[in-house]
């Protein structure tokens, strides 16, 4: 699914730079593939929220924020650093960037720094939002863990009626999903807040993480649904939770929801495609429709046991491994395709440019995965394994030391007891002799 999202982003950028977005009917469909970002955000929300859901259900300890942030950094930054350095050093339209542009791109703060999105790297605004979500997630987790499932509640009895309390049926976990949905609904007002913020010219605060929370919330809600069904074995799941999960697992219904939401997103209701400005209400509508699309795409995958054979094919698994590379490299590759193959930008040839860009980007992404991304993660796994083994050895040494001290203390106690006993016998014999 990540591969599909990355290819969707690539496709909409190729459509824009070949003017395919101006085609009747097909143009808005291609232009609105920027909603693939909603799929990216929904995937991140689902996968990163699962450990917090497990902690809320008592099935796992609270996630280590330090370990979580370390893994996020190693997953994102090494390959990203290579892309930024190469683009800002070699790409003709970007190599004259000033220190501000360098600093903003290296720190993934482009959405906060005016005019820092540059050629070959403009798609990184969404990665900047993603990283802001990484930082925000532990805060949301801490807040919602206060609504954790309390297993002790299973044994509480309402003595007035002689039966289980209503809390037994669903516990406080039933409040977590509405709380997350409420968070997404409240964030829909961010577009109006963004209009009155005193920001520098060139900064678009609608593109901050608060404006895109509905897309992440779609994944968070899915994680909660899966957790309520899979992790809560000791109490019946609330009926409305089962109904929502059953609807989400139905491929036909989710397909209808996806097509309907995407069709509406291709109309002026969600604003213009491309670089046009969105009114606040259009931005809010786009967030809602994107959240529906993300939920409809992911729900059958995580709520149904039926396999998706296309997604588990070798080709899709490989593209999935390379998907991050496809996302971060494709605009730099696209910028090279036009002069390299003698194609004029904004002059048609959508299919040719798309095929060449996808092929070259896939090759570069495979190399990025093999030589940068996977070695970085392997290094982290090795480091964590060695740390775990060192801690295990330290615990073993501590346990042996405690055992040795305990044996020494028992031995001293036995020797002391024997001495006292001998003295007592001697005194008794002396007294008897007297």
Tell me which residue of 147, 187, 183 sits closest to 167, measured CA to CA.
147
pLDDT of residue 111: 94
Q: Alpha-carbon torsion 267, 270, 272, 275, what sign?
A: negative
Instruction: Specify whether the CB–CB gap between 337 and 356 falls below 8 A.
Output: yes
Reported as half-sphere exposure (CB side, CA atoms, 13 A), residue 172 has a value of: 14
pLDDT in tens, 120-141: 999 999 999 999 999 999 999 9
pLDDT of residue 276: 76
Query: Cα–Cα distance between 39 and 365 in angstroms, integer?
Result: 20
Reported as a pLDDT band with limits 50, 70 and 90, residue 18 is very high
Query: Cα–Cα distance between 319 and 326 in angstroms, integer?
Result: 8
Give the mean pLDDT of 429-433.
51
- pTM given for the model: 0.85
- Report whether pLDDT(191) > 80: yes
Would you call 259 helix, strand, or coil by DSSP? Answer: helix
Give the mean pLDDT of 337-361.
95
Tell me which residue of 176, 183, 175, 186 sits closest to 136, measured CA to CA.
183
Q: Which residues, in sequence order, are CB contacts of 220 under 8 Å at separation 6+? A: 45, 46, 49, 140, 180
- Mean per-residue pLDDT of the chain: 87
Higher-pLDDT residue of 46, 408: 46
Residue 384 to residues 75, 157, 361, 388, Cα–Cα distance (Å): 15, 46, 32, 6
Give the mean pLDDT of 301-309.
90
pLDDT of residue 133: 97
pLDDT in tens, 20-68: 999 999 999 999 999 999 999 999 999 999 999 999 888 889 999 999 9
- Report whether pLDDT(370) > 80: yes
pLDDT of residue 236: 75
Give the mean pLDDT of 264-268.
95
Instruction: Specify whether the CB–CB gap between 51 and 140 falls below 8 A.
Output: no
Query: Cα–Cα distance between 72 and 68 in angstroms, integer?
Result: 6
Give the mean pLDDT of 248-265.
97
- Report whether pLDDT(172) > 50: yes
Buried b (16+ CB within 10 A) or exposed e, 243-276: ebbeebbbeeebeebbeebbebbbeeebbebbee
- Report whether pLDDT(74) > 70: yes
- Report whether pLDDT(432) > 60: no
DSSP 57-123: TTSSPPPPHHHHHHHHHHHHHHHHHHHHHHHHHH-TTTTT--HHHHHHHHTT-GGGSTT---TT-TT
pLDDT of residue 95: 85
pLDDT of residue 237: 82
- Report whether pLDDT(165) > 80: no
- Report whether pLDDT(365) > 70: yes
Reported as a pLDDT band with limits 50, 70 and 90, residue 305 is confident
Give the mean pLDDT of 373-392.
87
pLDDT of residue 409: 66
Reported as a pLDDT band with limits 50, 70 and 90, residue 144 is confident
Reported as a pLDDT band with limits 50, 70 and 90, residue 245 is very high
Paired with 164 in beta bridges are: 157
Residue 102 to residues 25, 115, 133, 419, Cα–Cα distance (Å): 39, 12, 22, 79
Percentage helix, strand, coil for the chain under 3-state DSSP, each rounded to 5: 75, 0, 25
Which residue is it, tokens 């060192």? 390
- Of 25-34, 305-314, 315-324, 400-409, the one with minimum mean pLDDT is 400-409
Residue 348 to residues 20, 33, 45, 358, Cα–Cα distance (Å): 7, 18, 37, 17
pLDDT of residue 170: 43
Residue 381 to residues 71, 189, 348, Cα–Cα distance (Å): 10, 41, 46
Give the mean pLDDT of 347-375.
96
Give the mean pLDDT of 383-411.
72
Tell me which residue of 46, 51, 32 sits closest to 1, measured CA to CA.
46
Give the mean pLDDT of 201-230.
94
Residues 340, 341, 346, 351, Cα dihedral to 10°:
-130
């Amino acid at each position: 699914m990540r591969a599909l999202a990355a290819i969707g982003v690539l496709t909409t950028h190729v459509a824009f730079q070949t003017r395919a977005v101006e085609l009747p009917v097909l143009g808005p469909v291609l232009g609105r593939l920027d909603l693939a970002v909603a799929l990216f955000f929904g995937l991140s929300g689902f996968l990163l929220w699962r450990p917090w859901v497990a902690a809320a259900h008592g099935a796992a300890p609270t996630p280590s924020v330090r370990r979580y942030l370390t893994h996020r950094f190693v997953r994102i930054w090494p390959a990203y650093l290579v892309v930024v350095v190469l683009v800002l050093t070699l790409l003709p339209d970007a190599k004259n960037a000033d220190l501000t542009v360098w600093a903003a791109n290296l720190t993934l703060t482009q959405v906060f720094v005016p005019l820092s999105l540059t050629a070959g790297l403009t798609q990184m605004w969404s990665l900047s939002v993603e990283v802001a979500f990484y930082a925000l997630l532990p805060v949301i987790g801490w807040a919602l863990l206060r609504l954790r499932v309390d297993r002790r509640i299973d044994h509480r009895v309402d003595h007035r009626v002689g039966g289980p309390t209503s809390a037994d049926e669903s516990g406080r976990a039933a409040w977590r999903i509405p709380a997350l949905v409420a968070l997404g609904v409240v964030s829909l007002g961010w577009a109006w807040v963004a209009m009155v913020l005193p920001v520098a010219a060139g900064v678009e605060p609608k593109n901050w993480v608060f404006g895109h929370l509905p897309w992440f919330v779609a994944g968070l809600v899915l994680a909660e649904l899966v957790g309520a069904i899979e992790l809560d074995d000791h109490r019946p799941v609330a009926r409305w939770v089962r109904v929502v999960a059953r609807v989400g697992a139905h491929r036909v219904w989710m397909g209808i929801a996806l097509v309907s939401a995407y069709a509406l997103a291709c109309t002026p209701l969600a604003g213009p495609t491309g670089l046009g400005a969105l009114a606040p209400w259009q931005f809010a509508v786009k967030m809602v429709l994107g959240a529906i699309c993300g939920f409809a795409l992911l729900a059958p995958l995580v709520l149904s046991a039926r396999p998706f054979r296309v997604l588990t094919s070798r080709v899709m698994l490989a593209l999935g491994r390379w998907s991050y590379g496809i996302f971060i490299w494709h605009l730099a590759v696209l910028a090279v395709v036009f002069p390299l193959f003698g194609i004029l930008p904004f002059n048609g040839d959508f299919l040719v440019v798309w095929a060449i860009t996808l092929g070259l980007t896939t090759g570069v992404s495979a190399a990025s995965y093999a030589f940068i991304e996977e070695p970085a993660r392997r290094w982290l796994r090795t480091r964590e394994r060695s740390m775990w083994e060192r801690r295990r050895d330290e615990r073993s040494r501590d346990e042996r030391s405690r055992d040795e001290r305990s044996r020494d203390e028992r031995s001293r106690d036995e020797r002391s007891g024997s001495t006292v006993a001998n003295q007592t016998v001697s005194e008794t014999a002396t007294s008897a002799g007297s």
